Amino acid sequence: MAESIEREKTRRITGNIFKGSVGNLIEWYDWYVYTAFAVYFSAEFFPKGDPTSQLLNTAAIFAVGFLMRPIGSLLMGRYADRHGRRSALTLSITIMAGGSLIIAITPGYSTIGVLAPIILVLARLLQGVSLGGEYGTSATYLSEMASSGRRGFYSSFQYVTLVAGQIVALGIQIILQQMLSETEMNSWGWRIPFVIGAMGALAVLWLRRTMDESEQFSKMGSESRASAGTVRALMKHPKAVLTVVGLTLGGTVAFYTYTTYLQKFMVNTVGLPKEVVSWINFIALLLFVVLQPLAGMLSDRIGRRPLLISFGVLGTLLTVPLFLFMEQAKNPLVAFLLMMVGLIIVTGYTSINAIVKAELFPTKIRALGVGFPYGVTVAVFGGTAEFIALWLKSIGVESLYFFYVAACIAVSLIVYWRMDESSKVSHIESELDAENEPAVRGFSSRYS
């Protein structure tokens, strides 16, 4: 009987994490399709000009979308802490579907003039609100649903699906590149992935409605829920808030540099063909996905802090040399290997940042605490990374960007060095210990 209960418990945990993760994948696919296909649709939404100027315009809108992420994390984090993680995740995927559909059907600049980039901005704002709420709520849900002692492993699927969304976007890009000519891709082919994203989001909407609510939220009383998710309550944890900011700063700049900007760097600066770059990114990111749960499992054994420090040290020391070597990497294999070195380094951050943040806050403000300071930091630093890089390239000093990335990682390294080991002071574990119940007792009680 005990074995049967344990199997059912594990099955439900795995099922809920799968449902949450698939939705997260679609959300991030919709977000990354924009940057993956920017090289094709930038000329469609902006007046004719040189390619760098048009990419600069699309990068600016990419940054504007990021500016909405703190607002989304504030609104959705408050909603998740008061009304539940499942409800908030369902709402966020609905908003994302709308944004993708708008981009898919909006006519180009040659048809409706200045309205084209305006509508593009509005759609991107919607997606920014959605993704801002998705990150904090999803990280909270995965961390709460995981079993004790395996939270690092299970929460690593936050970035497994995040990066998988980018891989799917690149995969569709590769398929379309094989099926359509360059002219067709620039004219209308780029709209296909946005339609796919909108349809996928609608399918996930049903899936998320069947998820279980996390036990931690379910056990909150009505009085606690009424006061949950407020900025005032969040400000009672200033050290945790500042830790999230410092934790995120270098990580988000490094992540978007190695997974988003690097694609354009290989095309614009290194001079590799677009199709070759797509394959390099696809294979490298596929391996990057495999690294996440492995590093998450490692953090369950040795702690979160050693992984963060390894990212901080290696990222600070090696970022500039990696990009200087990449500039000369005319051989696709060399470019791939250099990209993999960068992705291995950044894994020390990506694999565990969700669980570290979740462990810093109590249940009643966890979604807001994980999402809001993260959203602000990502908006200021992650969302502007590509724009800063392209701007520095446009004025002829692109190499300064490499030092900027290294400096941001160095700031985070100071935070990693001074912070406590989050798994040892985890609010998730301490709250469950206080109740003297295992993290999944709610599941077993249904079948005992």
408: pLDDT strictly greater than 70: yes
Domains belonging to the chain, first-starting first, are: 16-214+237-439 (1.20.1250.20)
Give the residue from 355, 325, 332, 341 showing the smallest Cα distance to 424: 355
The DSSP symbol for 363 reads G
How far, CA to CA in Å, does 377 sit from each of 250, 323, 391?
Answer: 10, 24, 20
**Could you tell me which residue, 407 or 4, shows the higher pLDDT?**
407
Alpha helix positions (H), 37-156: 38-45, 51-67, 69-83, 85-105, 109-112, 115-145, 151-155
- Which of the residue ranges 48-52, 151-155, 421-425 would you say has the lowest mean pLDDT? 48-52
**What pLDDT shows up at residue 62?**
65
pTM listed for this prediction: 0.82
**Could you tell me which residue, 344 or 222, shows the higher pLDDT?**
344
Average pLDDT over residues 88-111: 89
**What pLDDT shows up at residue 53?**
60
Assess contact for 37 and 168: CB atoms under 8 A.
Answer: no
Distance CA 288, CA 375 (A): 23
The DSSP symbol for 304 reads S
Residues 195-211: b if buried by 16+ CB within 10 A, e if exposed: ebbbebbeebbebbeeb
Assess contact for 377 and 411: CB atoms under 8 A.
Answer: no
> Model confidence at 401, in pLDDT bands (50, 70, 90)?
very high
> Model confidence at 374, in pLDDT bands (50, 70, 90)?
very high
List pLDDT tens digits, range 167-188: 898 889 889 988 999 889 988 9
> Model confidence at 432, in pLDDT bands (50, 70, 90)?
low
Q: How many CA atoms lie within 13 A of 52 on its CB side?
A: 13
